[in-house]
Amino acid sequence: MSIQLNKIALNIRVRLPEHVFERHLPSSPYVIGTELADQVVAYAREHELGYYPALDFFENNGGLDPELLEAVSHTSWFVANLVREEIHRKLRPIFASLNFLSVQTVAFTMPGVRPTQLNAYNELVEHYTPDTVKIGLVVGVFQKRDNDEALTRWARHTAYRWLKNSFEDFEVTSATAV
């Protein structure tokens, strides 16, 4: 029986704890998220939009305070790098290989909130707060047998066990053998 390298794609969503920002950043991501939500809501009302745009829309078309966009970009860069380093530090000794496919701050994705929803403002603040990151990575595991389902469950569980205490919130949103 030969040993082979099996690869599992993991999609992870993490949120950093507030105390990390207090030590490293001049302004709180929660203040940034609240101010972004205020300005986005005002823009959506003024232009009678039935949705809240992603931040890329405002970077290309204006409509938000440029200094606020710079602050969210800087904070997002810091958060993404910190998360990436922590995941690499914790998981690299466990898996045979570790490759990041994507690291994206949720604040730069399209909000799933609509203006007519109940509690829309609070959900928008949470969405635009640059403290949450989505990560796509592929881990490699040496295995004698070819049991993709068991290996995928093991990789999901291992990532959860080694990373859950590093973040405020942690979730493996999907795990798939590749």
Tell me what pLDDT residue 173 has. 97
Ranges under pLDDT 50 in the chain: none
Q: Is residue 109 within 8 Å of residue 133, measured between CB atoms? A: no
Confidence (pLDDT) at 148: 81
Amino acid at 96: A
List Cβ neighbours of 154 (8 Å cut-off, separation of 6 or more).
141
SS3 breakdown of the chain: % helix, strand, coil, rounded to 5?
Answer: 50, 25, 25
